[in-house]
């Protein structure tokens, strides 16, 4: 058993369809001695008195380091125009948490493909 180093790492990601990957990431970080916070693994407090978004944002405040995983799927926890993961990322930036991101190659490729494209929204003509 690896001795814990008291560093709390929050893993923020879309969950559905990626459960196996999240479990593997959790196991790997745990094996290095980190305290891993991840809602899928049940290590983010989920009190009945708060919403999922509030619980996740509280976890961002509590963590020492933030690992964001950017995937092609935006996530099911969309509130308004942004997902819970998106809100977690913004909060981590605002709080100046140590942070790292893993980005799916499809996201990087699409960003490069559309970087100079001119797309017109049919409703606003912008």
Pair 44, 66: CB distance under 8 Å? no
pLDDT digits (tens, 9 = 90+) for 40-80: 888 888 777 888 889 999 999 999 999 999 888 766 667 77
Q: What is the mean pLDDT of residues 17-39?
A: 93
pTM of the model: 0.80
Strand 8-13 vs strand 35-37: parallel, antiparallel, or unpaired?
Answer: parallel
pLDDT at 99 over 90: yes
- Mean pLDDT confidence for 15-31: 90
Write down the pLDDT at residue 56. 92
Where along the chain do its domains lie? 8-114
Q: Cβ contacts of residue 44 below 8 Å, gap of 6+?
A: 10, 37, 38, 55, 56, 59
Q: Lowest-pLDDT range, 9-18, 37-46, 79-88, 105-114?
A: 105-114
Higher pLDDT, 21 or 72: 21
More confident residue, 62 or 116: 62
Output 71 or 37, whichever has higher pLDDT. Answer: 37
What proportion of the chain, given as a percentage, has pLDDT over 70? Answer: 89
CB 124 within 8 A of CB 115: no
Query: What is the CATH code of the structural domain delimited by 8-114?
Result: 3.40.50.450
From CA 119, how far away is CA 47, in angstroms rounded? 43
């Amino acid at each position: 058993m690896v001795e814990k180093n008291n560093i709390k790492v929050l893993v923020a990601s879309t969950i559905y369809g990626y459960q196996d990957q999240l479990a593997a990431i959790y196991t790997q970080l745990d094996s290095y001695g980190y305290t891993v916070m991840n809602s899928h693994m049940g290590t983010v407090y989920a009190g009945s008195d708060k919403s999922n978004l509030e619980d996740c944002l509280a976890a961002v405040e509590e963590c020492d380091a933030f690992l964001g995983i950017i995937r092609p799927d935006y996530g099911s926890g969309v509130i308004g125009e942004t997902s819970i993961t998106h809100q977690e990322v913004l909060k981590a930036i605002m709080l100046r948490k140590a942070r790292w991101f893993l980005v799916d190659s499809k996201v990087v490729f699409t960003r490069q493909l559309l970087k100079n494209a001119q797309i017109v929204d049919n409703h606003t003509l912008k």
